[in-house]
């Protein structure tokens, strides 16, 4: 980690409290504005800030304020995809294990994080949370310190879990909108496990992702919705494929 990276991290470590919860309708209206590009790739359009998490298979270029990366696997950290987002100038938040790959790709404007970090990033409250496998540990070992994020801004909080199984730490997640991976090869063992993870969290809106490409079937999203009927609203996203 060079001095520039350390400096960015240290000035960001401040309190992330004080966000109020929107009504269920407002949360759902906001959730509908989030774009999903496949796998765990999403775009969050806050009122005056744009955020991407794990950009992958993007249909065009954009100029977001910050890009969050959950771990170093190629469908989550792709330097060519990140380059579509304001070239090499975009601010990147990522686990320490991603540093080498990012620097090789020409990126050095980064904040390196680990589970448990909390900080403010130009008004966006960031909580860095664990993401790992408990059963299929060879894919996402806990020791790697790979992450998910809870991002709070505009009075709404969004949980991006990264690649994970249902882990005990999810019971401590507080958010309005929770994404959850449905893929049953590298992440959850079943759609039922993904639904149970949502029940652990208790969001207003749950959104399934990370299915239908390399693992998991498109129909799994409907099963996920059925399993959560009466517990929370489920929003099934269409893939965003038009030009940004």
Long-range CB contacts for residues 127-132, cutoff 8 Å, separation at least 24: 127/16, 127/151, 127/152, 129/159, 129/161, 129/169, 129/173, 130/164, 130/167, 130/169, 131/70, 131/71, 131/161, 131/162, 131/163, 131/164, 131/167, 132/164, 132/165, 132/167
Domains of the chain listed by start with CATH number = 3-9+20-234 (3.60.15.10)
User: Rounded to the nearest 5°, which phi and psi values hold at 191?
Assistant: -65, -35
Chain centroid offset of residue 39 CA: 11
Residue 161 has pLDDT above 50, yes or no: yes
Instruction: Report percent pLDDT > 70 for the chain.
Output: 89
Residue 8 has pLDDT above 70, yes or no: no
In this prediction the pTM is 0.89
Residue 168 has pLDDT above 60, yes or no: yes
Residue 2 has pLDDT above 50, yes or no: no
The confidence score (pLDDT) of residue 13 equals 42
Query: 10-66, pLDDT tens digit by residue?
Result: 434 433 333 446 899 999 999 999 999 988 999 999 999 999 999 999 999 999 999
Query: 198-240, pLDDT tens digit by residue?
Result: 999 999 999 999 887 776 677 889 999 999 998 999 999 988 7
User: In this predicted model, which residue has the larger pLDDT, 133 or 176?
Assistant: 176
Query: 138-153, pLDDT tens digit by residue?
Result: 777 898 999 999 999 9
The confidence score (pLDDT) of residue 176 equals 97
């Amino acid at each position: 980690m060079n001095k520039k990276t350390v400096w960015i991290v240290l000035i960001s470590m401040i309190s992330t409290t004080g966000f109020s919860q929107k009504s269920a309708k407002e949360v759902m209206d906001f959730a509908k504005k989030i774009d999903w590009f496949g796998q765990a790739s999403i775009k969050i359009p806050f009122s005056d800030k744009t955020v991407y998490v794990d950009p992958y298979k993007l249909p065009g270029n954009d100029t977001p304020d910050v890009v969050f990366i959950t771990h170093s696997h190629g469908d989550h950290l792709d330097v060519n995809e990140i380059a579509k987002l304001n070239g090499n100038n975009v601010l990147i938040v990522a686990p320490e294990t991603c540093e080498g790959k990012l620097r090789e790709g020409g990126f050095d404007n980064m904040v390196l994080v680990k589970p448990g970090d909390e900080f403010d990033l130009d008004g966006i409250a960031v909580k860095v949370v664990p993401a790992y496998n408990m059963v299929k540990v060879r894919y996402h070992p806990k020791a790697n310190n790979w992450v998910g994020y809870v991002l709070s801004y505009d009075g709404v909080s969004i949980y991006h879990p990264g690649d994970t199984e249902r882990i005990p730490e999810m019971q401590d997640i507080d958010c309005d909108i929770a994404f959850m991976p449905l893929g049953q090869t590298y992440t959850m063992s079943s759609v039922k496990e993904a639904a149970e993870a949502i029940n652990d969290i208790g969001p207003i809106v749950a959104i399934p992702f990370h299915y239908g490409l390399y693992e998991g079937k498109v129909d799994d999203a409907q099963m996920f919705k059925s399993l959560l009927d009466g517990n929370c609203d489920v929003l099934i996203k269409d893939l965003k494929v038009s030009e940004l």
